Structure 1
Amino acid sequence: MKKGSLLFVFILLLSSIAASIGFAQEIGKDKLFVAALGDSITFGYNLQEDKTKPSSQAFPYLINEGNAEVANISFPGWTSSQLLGALSNQETLLALQQADVITLNIGSNDYLQAIGLQELIENQTPIEFTPELQQKIAAASAQLSQNLQNILQTIRQNNQTAPVVFYNMYNPFGASEDPFLLSLHQAGEQITLTVNQQVLNPIAAASGSLLVDTYSAFSGNQAAFIIPGDIHPNAAGHQVLGALADQALASLVPAAPTVEIVFSTTEKTEGPVKVTVTADQDVLEMKWLPGEQTADKFSAAGNVINGNTFDVPENGTYTVYVKTQEQLEAVKTFKIENIVSKEEEEPPAEEEPPVEEPPAEEPPAQEEPPKEEEPAEEQPVTEQPQEETPVNETEKEERTSVKEESTTPVVTVKKNELPDTATAAYNYTAAGAVMIMIGAGTMLFRRRRARVN
């Protein structure tokens, strides 16, 4: 590599570092000022009927989600040499100096003119990579490489902080079954891959530019992103180009610090709770405030955190604020809910003696009078007459007077009836004795009568 090229790379590397820092400071602006350098793609050619001025649908106007003020330094058909010549214009240089972001999309026309694409399309002649054609492509690559280095050097001479979004080359020809269109697709693949790998991508990396891989985004999607029968992007294609720029620029914005909070305990405690705060970046300042707060609140208020810890004496919501060495800010809100007040021991309450209730008095059981037994019907008994057995009067009285004692008191009910003084056996005996006596009397009467006769 030549000494001039080495110096170019060194200058651009230093500029890329400054660009990252400068863009980080610009992200808070409502609109970004974009200086867009390029050809008909940057111009937005064929997006509108009026082809004399850049289209508002072109990708530079879509950067930062459409919040961009654009100085469009492009024109249809421009090669890298023509763009380099336009950078000598004072108005163009002023736009570069004021730019927050610079886009660079150039080189397609260098190769289209080298291979004579317009003539090939008109004659429907398939592209053949003859030695002569390959020599033209090599010469175009060498010229493009030199022009790009000069363009980037001019950019950095006028603006050392704005990031450069560097687009590589896409193949405008999709795959096709038509032999001629297929030859265009194959030639486009060979040229774009070679140019990207050998010229554009290395220069973007060496200069510290933000490389946007247009080739990969459009590959296989030509029908969706290219105007039919044309080589220029349609509105959808320009939206893709704008989104790719936003993605590249987002990589320059440093991530806010991640804040971690650890509590000395999460169990119930009388307090205070010690809070430890850590961050994944070099910290310049730490503060805390009660309540849920935003970063703006800490600009003029806040309790300084020393040694990464502070004590929280009571339950509530708190916010921690962290500011890094790169002036990045972050806040984190948390709650403390496990602090309990010391409970005073209360004397045990005196228990009242249980009140004994007198047992409920049950009413005395009422004795039911004995039920009168109806005399059982006597079955007639046929008894053989037998001799009368003399009965002792004393024994008879005992039999009639003796009764079984009852453990249950008996209530006597007076009725107009004779008392039951004999048992059933006694009645039977008495009846038998009477019958015997009658029988004996009858027999004596008959004997006496017989004697008389």
Structure 2
Amino acid sequence: MKDFKLLYKTEVIDMKKWKAAGLITVAGACVIAIVWGLHGRTKNNAKLLQLDEQVSDDSVIYVALGDSITYGYSLEHAENERFSARIVAYMKQQGMQVVECNQGVNGQLSGDMWQNIKKGKVDLLDHADYVTFCIGTNDALLPFEFFVMQYEDYFYGYSGAGDDSLLWGKINKKTFIRDFEEADRSAEDNLNRFYNNLSDSIDLIRKDSPDCRIAIMTLYNPYRNMDYEISAGGITVNIGQYAEEKISQANTIIRTVCKEKNVVLADCYEAFASSNDIVLNNQNAENYIDPDDHPTAVGQQLIADVFIEALFTK
């Protein structure tokens, strides 16, 4: 068992509230990636020089903004398999001379992204012709995922256990409820800032690139089939249902921003919910329990297909 407060510090999440256990979910995987040095800007001198050398008067600049999904976390060949690369492949098939600038950052929240844009830390964004957003999953679920990490054995070993079960001889009910309520408040705080972070990011982009075509994807629920739950003190915490509630809140904000800002909506939520393919890594695991709930290569292709249809065929 690891204590992530020794590994991870952030102004957004106070890790003193959540001790991490063995489960590494979207948030947990992002934390490990951050610790290994992947957190922060993808920009460095060598990469920027390489990008500049690719740009010509005929170039179409595509910037992909987002979190670990955009980055291509867990993919064997991320530079070719992540959705931004697949969008670029399609654009090139249409005869465009495209320069891809993937600015996905593992563990990124919408506030981090907005700050990076505001401070001019996103490569080529001031010359972008196309921009895609994949952001909000960490805002909606990061606090809850740390809560689940702390109580994973109880969720997965005693699903459906209630107040009268032997389970509660091993756990403090008041602590469990307090930790859940704190996680929920933190998620609500994130989501209360999500609208402004997303809306202001779009305004900043259009200030420098007024003709830029922007698309935002709705978020899939990484736990859509996970029915593990615990009831205590009159509340029931169901992993799949809770995640659905928060993802729904985030998607409502995304749809609102798209409508208000005249931004293209790429509805990946519906695409993932209706897919019969293995689109998430955790779908490969027995009993649907697996630490990696990022998209598979098939899932990344699905995201690309939704963006392509929204941007180029509608």
The TM-score with structure 2 as length reference comes to 0.61
User: Residue 150 of structure 1 aligns with which residue?
Assistant: 200
* Equivalent in 204, 210, 216 of residue 258 of structure 2: 204
Larger radius of gyration: 1
Matches within 5 A, 1:57-68: 57-63=81-87, 65=90, 67=92, 68=98
- Decide whether the 8 Å contact of 2:191 with 2:250 is kept in 1: yes
Alignment check: 8 A CA contact 1:174 1:223 kept: no
Residue aligning to 1:71:
101
Q: 1:172, 1:222 within 8 Å by CA — same for their partners in 2?
A: no
Separation in 2, partners of 1:57, 1:70:
13
**Residue of structure 2 equivalent to 1:184:** 239
The answer for the alignment partner of 1:39 in structure 2 is 67
Cα distance per residue 1:200-254 (max 9 Å; x no partner): 11011111110111111111548610012222111001111111111111246xx
What is the aligned-residue identity percentage? Answer: 23
- Please tell me whether the aligned partners of residues 60 and 70 of structure 1 are also in contact (alpha carbons under 8 angstroms): yes
Return the alpha-carbon distance in structure 1 between the equivalents of residues 182 and 265 of structure 2: 31
More helix by share: 2
Distance 2:198 2:66 in 1: 11
Decide which of 84, 98, 102 is 2:127's aligned counterpart: 98
Read off the aligned partner of 2:137 and give its amino acid letter: S
CA distance in 2, matches of 1:241, 1:171: 14
**Structure 1 runs not aligned, ≥5 long:** 1-28, 253-453
Alpha-carbon offset, residue 194 of structure 1: 2.3
1:173 and 1:222 in contact (8 A); partners too: no
Question: What does 1:204-353 align with in structure 2 at a 5 Å threshold?
Answer: 204-221=258-275, 224-228=278-282, 229=290, 230-251=292-313
- SS at structure 1 position matched to 2:281: coil
Q: Secondary structure at the match of 2:278?
A: helix
Count of residues in Structure 1 that have an aligned counterpart in Structure 2:
216
CA distance in 2, matches of 1:174, 1:222: 13
TM-superposed deviation, 1:112: 2.4
Q: Name the residue aligned to 2:13.
A: none
Q: Which amino acid in structure 2 is aligned with residue 75 of structure 1?
A: V
Structure 2 residue runs without a partner (length 5+):
1-56, 93-97, 156-175, 231-236, 283-289
Describe the shift of the 1:120–1:176 C-alpha distance in structure 2 as closer, same or farther (beyond 3 A): closer
Does the 8 A contact of 1:114 with 1:140 survive in 2?
Answer: no
CA contact (8 A) 2:110 2:139 kept: yes
2:72 & 2:183 partners in 1: Cα distance? 29
Alignment TM-score, normalising by the size of structure 1: 0.43
Q: Which residue of 2 aligns with 1:55?
A: 79
Contact 2:227–2:240 (8 Å) recurs in 1: no
Please give the per-residue CA displacement for 1:89-130, whole angstroms capped at 9, x wherever unaligned: 5462x6123222100111111122232x03413531549796
Q: Secondary structure at the match of 2:132?
A: strand
**1:113-152 Cα distance to aligned partner (Å, 9 max, x none):** 232x034135315497965554333211111111112211
CA distance in 1, matches of 2:59, 2:299: 23
Partners of 2:227 and 2:214 in 1: how far apart?
Answer: 39
- Cα offset for 1:177? 6.1
Distance 1:231 1:69 in 2: 29
AA at the equivalent of 2:208: N
Contact 2:228–2:240 (CA under 8 A) maintained in structure 1: no
RMSD: 2.9
